[in-house]
């Protein structure tokens, strides 16, 4: 596949820069948004709720995922209910465990039964996928976020695992598999090929969509020109015996 128009996987913009979120919202390819406390901290967000409400003022019709940040399940539940109350398009992200390795399955079941739309995050194994799918079976909508990019960071190929996750979730029409933490644009096409429902993409990955299907000879020439021009702009010089060519212009 070399055309973005043929993609079946949904693209969700991932980030915490309000200006970038506004820009992504104007892109018809973007079908949702995600963020997390780490991205928000890196973007300089100081007031969690104020930032979230500013985002929701801009994004009214597409799903937006915000994450709880307590390490205690009862407080997670309270945070989830509050976050869900901010707008009907909010999806609440719940980590698959807390920092003590305690699984969040009981909390997920409770929140799903309450009608809260969920995004189960930070998963990396098929056992987690199976257990999370069972836990959110009663939800009207849930995303199972498998961090395929981080799996790849360990030297493992995430594609077979993601393909198996698609098969595991196939009976659950209310659950969508989300390919999280992609490292390159190729991951978008890999996610599409295995039947993944959603893939998140940061701004730097989304910018590469314009290169899809580009002629490789032309791309090669653009790269050569980039190297040449950057050397010129930097003023690099090497003292060789051959005189430097002078332009006829």
* Residue 132: φ, ψ to 5°: -65, -40
* Residue 59: φ, ψ to 5°: -110, 105
The model scores a pTM over 0.85: yes
What average pLDDT does this structure show over 80-102? 98
Does residue 1 carry a pLDDT above 60?
no
Q: What is the four-CA torsion angle of 91, 119, 140, 58, rounded to 10 degrees?
A: 20
The pLDDT score that the predictor gives to residue 246 is 63
Query: In the CATH hierarchy, which top-level class contains the domain 4-209?
Result: alpha beta
Known catalytic residue: 214?
no
The pLDDT score that the predictor gives to residue 240 is 86
Model confidence pLDDT, tens digit, residues 161-174: 999 999 999 999 99
pLDDT bin (cut points 50, 70, 90) of residue 5 is confident
The pLDDT score that the predictor gives to residue 248 is 59
- Find the catalytic residue in 93, 207, 208, 225: 93
What average pLDDT does this structure show over 227-245? 89
Does residue 200 carry a pLDDT above 60?
yes
- Please name which of 100, 140, 141, 149 lies closest in space to residue 122, comparing C-alpha atoms: 149
Model confidence pLDDT, tens digit, residues 129-161: 999 999 999 999 999 999 999 999 999 999 999
What average pLDDT does this structure show over 100-104? 98
Structure-token pair, residue 172: 């659950």
The pLDDT score that the predictor gives to residue 131 is 98
């Amino acid at each position: 596949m070399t055309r973005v128009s043929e993609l079946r996987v949904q693209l969700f913009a991932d980030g915490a820069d309000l200006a970038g979120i506004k820009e992504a919202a104007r892109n018809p390819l973007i079908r949702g948004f995600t963020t997390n406390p780490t991205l928000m901290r890196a973007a300089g967000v100081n007031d969690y709720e104020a930032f979230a409400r500013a985002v929701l003022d801009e994004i009214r019709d597409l799903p937006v995922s915000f994450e709880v940040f307590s390490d205690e399940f009862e407080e997670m539940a309270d945070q989830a209910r509050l976050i869900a109350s901010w707008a009907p398009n909010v999806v609440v992200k719940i980590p698959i465990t807390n920092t003590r390795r305690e699984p969040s399955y009981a909390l997920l079941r409770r929140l799903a039964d309450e009608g809260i739309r969920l995004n189960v995050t930070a998963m990396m194994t098929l056992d987690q996928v199976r257990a999370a799918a069972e836990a959110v079976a009663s939800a009207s909508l849930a995303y199972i976020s498998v961090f395929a990019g981080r799996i790849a960071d360990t030297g493992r190929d995430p594609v077979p695992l993601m393909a198996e996750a698609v098969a595991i979730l196939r009976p659950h029409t209310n659950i969508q598999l989300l390919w999280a933490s992609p490292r390159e644009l190729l991951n978008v096409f890999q996610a599409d090929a295995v039947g993944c429902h959603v893939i998140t993409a940061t701004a730097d990955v989304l910018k590469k969509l314009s290169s899809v299907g580009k002629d490789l000879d032309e791309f090669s020439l653009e790269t050569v020109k980039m190297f040449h021009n950057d050397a010129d702009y930097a003023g690099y010089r090497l003292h060789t015996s051959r005189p430097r060519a002078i332009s006829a212009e």
